[in-house]
Amino acid sequence: MKVVDSILEASSLYHVYESKAEDGNVVALRGIHIDIKAGEAIAVVGPSGSGKSTLMKCLGGLMKPSSGSVVMAGKNMTRLSGKELVHLRQKTVSFIFQEGNLLPDMNARDNVAQPLRHQGMSSRKALKLADEMLDRLGILPRAKALPAKLSGGEQQRVAIARALITNPRLILADEPTGALDPITSREVLALFKDLHENDGVSFLIVTHSKEVASFADRSLELRDGRFVAEHGVGVDVEDLSRNRELIIDETGTVTLPPDILLRIGGPGKYMVGDIDNGHLSLTGEKIAAIGKLELAKVCPACKYDYGDSDDQLCPACGSSRPMVEVGS
């Protein structure tokens, strides 16, 4: 049996944004584990604020996680020097962001050619390849236009051309078709599919688009900084409440999506019932809320009556005075 190497792995990935606000620090990622095989396409879906953009930046080496490790093409990025990290990214991964992030003082052609120049290719050859890529994406007539003169859709196609020009092994894309019209979006997805199926390029795509998610081999649902479910081909990102699949890690830990937890009764104690042929039955017993605590009126050891005293030690037997729930 052929073993497929991983192109990107993350283990126990946490990221905390420090804040002096009243609410305190923000935990954006909570113990993320992910393994992307060479040639695999994965979509990450989830609501706004679930940690998708932070995840993309940490996986691509654009941001150092608070803890955990990220391994790209067999190298632990969290242990690389800045120069080594840049070199690894240049030969392995390309990024596509929703905003495009084009260099404003360079025309479309130069924007696309720039990554090749950084790799040491001659300007003449880089520009020739840039023209070919722009033509492939149907935007060659706008090659000499500055980004400010391009529409949002044109800017995004230039950004995609720039990402593809280096023949990356992995593409990390954040809503890559968000600024495109439906026809151009389908053309870009067809190009992605060709790269995925024929050139073995791996993809990790953050998306709200049903069409983009269906392009992926599998979709991971991210909520509150955790992967809470995995879906196969054809996930409906408009309704993730049907046919949910839960991920159970190697330690046996399962995280329930908040809506499912609410429907089964919320946090509490659950008894395992019948286990048969892949089916698990749980019977819930909600944990009672903890009431107000106060110092015990009577010593549990010798029954000394404290009365109105605030003594922390029993005067009769020397036992520590416990705190008890009001009414117990």
* pLDDT average, residue stretch 256-285: 67
Question: What does the pLDDT look like over 189-198, one tens digit per residue?
Answer: 888 888 888 8
What residue numbers bound the domain in which 251 lies?
6-255
Number of structural domains found in the chain: 3
d(CA 311, CA 328): 20
Taking the CA atoms of residue 12, residue 15, residue 20 and residue 21 in that order, the dihedral angle to the nearest 10 degrees is: -100
Whether the pTM exceeds 0.85: the reply is no
93, part of any domain: yes
pLDDT band at 247 (very low <50, low <70, confident <90, very high): low
141, part of any domain: yes
* Nearest C-alpha neighbor of 162 from the set 239, 108, 84: 108
Cα-to-chain-centroid distance, residue 320: 49
* Same domain (yes/no): 53, 172: yes
* Same domain (yes/no): 142, 283: no
* Same domain (yes/no): 195, 318: no
26, part of any domain: yes
* Same domain (yes/no): 199, 315: no
* Same domain (yes/no): 281, 322: no
* Same domain (yes/no): 242, 260: no
Q: How far apart are the first and last CA of the chain?
A: 63
* Same domain (yes/no): 66, 147: yes
* Nearest C-alpha neighbor of 158 from the set 120, 203, 122, 188: 188
Structure-model confidence comparison of residues 133 and 101, the more confident one = 133
Average pLDDT, the chain: 80
Q: Look at residue 70 in the predicted model and tell me its pLDDT.
A: 92
Q: Look at residue 89 in the predicted model and tell me its pLDDT.
A: 87
Task: Find all residues with CB under 8 Å of 64, minimum gap 6, and list them.
Answer: 58, 78
Q: At residue 277, does pLDDT exceed 70?
A: no
79, part of any domain: yes
133, part of any domain: yes
230, part of any domain: yes
Query: Token match 């283990």: residue?
Result: 11
1, part of any domain: no
pLDDT band at 288 (very low <50, low <70, confident <90, very high): very low
* Same domain (yes/no): 265, 200: no
Q: At residue 289, does pLDDT exceed 50?
A: no
* Same domain (yes/no): 76, 106: yes
* Same domain (yes/no): 199, 300: no
Q: At residue 317, does pLDDT exceed 50?
A: yes
* pLDDT average, residue stretch 10-35: 84
- The encoded tokens of residue 84 equal 């080594």
* Nearest C-alpha neighbor of 108 from the set 143, 148, 156, 138: 143
Instruction: Report the CATH number at residue 246.
Output: 3.40.50.300
166, part of any domain: yes
* Same domain (yes/no): 237, 298: no
* Same domain (yes/no): 205, 294: no
Q: How many C-beta atoms lie closer than 10 Å to residue 77's C-beta?
A: 22
